[in-house]
C-alpha cells in the first residue's frame, strides 16, 4: 500500500498552533463535537488538508465545518475558492457564522446533524 505523502512542516506547525489558540467559538463547538459526543461522529479540529487547515473535520462523512467571523464577509471569493478546492477532494464544507453558533445553537446543531444524515 502506498504511503501518504508527508505533511509539509509549515502546515503541520500551523495546525498545531491553531489548536492551542482556538477562538471562543471554536472552543464552544469543539466542546459539543469532541469525543464522539455528537451522534458518535468523530471530528478532528484544525485538520490539515494542504494547503488549508480545516476548523473541524469528520473523515467518515467527508464533512468540513468552518466557523466564520466578520472578516469572512469581505473574503467571499477566497472562501468560495477554498470550498471549490475541498469539493474537488470530495469534502463538503458547511459554513457557520460565529454569531449563529452562539445565538442559535440548536438550529446550528440541527443543520450539522442533517448534513451528517442526508
| pLDDT greater than 80 at residue 5 | no
| Core vs surface per residue 41-61: b (16+ CB within 10 A) or e | bebbbbbbbeebbbbbbbeeb
Provide the CATH number for the domain formed by 33-116 in this structure. 3.40.960.10
Could you give the CA distance from residue 10 to residue 16 in angstroms, rounded to a whole number? 10
Could you give the CA distance from residue 21 to residue 39 in angstroms, rounded to a whole number? 26
Q: What is the pLDDT of residue 71?
A: 65
pTM: 0.85
Cell numbers that stand for 105 in this block: 445553537
Q: What is the pLDDT of residue 72?
A: 52
Over residues 37-96, the pLDDT tens digits come to 999 999 999 999 999 999 999 999 999 999 998 665 567 889 999 999 999 999 999 999
* pLDDT band for position 14 (cuts 50, 70, 90): low
Q: What's the sign of the alpha-carbon dihedral 15, 68, 99, 63? A: negative
Amino acid at each position: 500500500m502506498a504511503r501518504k505523502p508527508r505533511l509539509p512542516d509549515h502546515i503541520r506547525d500551523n495546525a498545531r498552533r491553531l489548536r492551542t489558540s482556538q477562538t471562543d467559538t471554536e472552543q464552544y463547538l469543539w466542546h459539543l463535537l469532541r469525543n464522539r459526543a455528537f451522534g458518535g461522529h468523530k471530528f478532528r479540529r484544525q485538520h490539515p488538508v494542504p494547503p488549508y487547515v480545516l476548523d473541524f473535520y469528520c473523515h467518515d462523512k467527508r464533512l468540513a465545518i468552518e466557523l466564520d467571523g466578520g472578516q469572512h464577509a469581505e473574503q467571499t471569493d477566497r472562501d468560495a475558492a477554498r470550498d471549490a478546492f475541498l469539493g474537488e477532494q470530495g469534502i463538503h464544507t458547511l459554513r457557520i457564522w460565529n454569531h449563529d453558533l452562539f445565538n442559535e445553537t440548536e438550529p446550528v446543531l440541527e443543520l450539522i446533524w442533517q448534513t451528517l444524515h442526508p
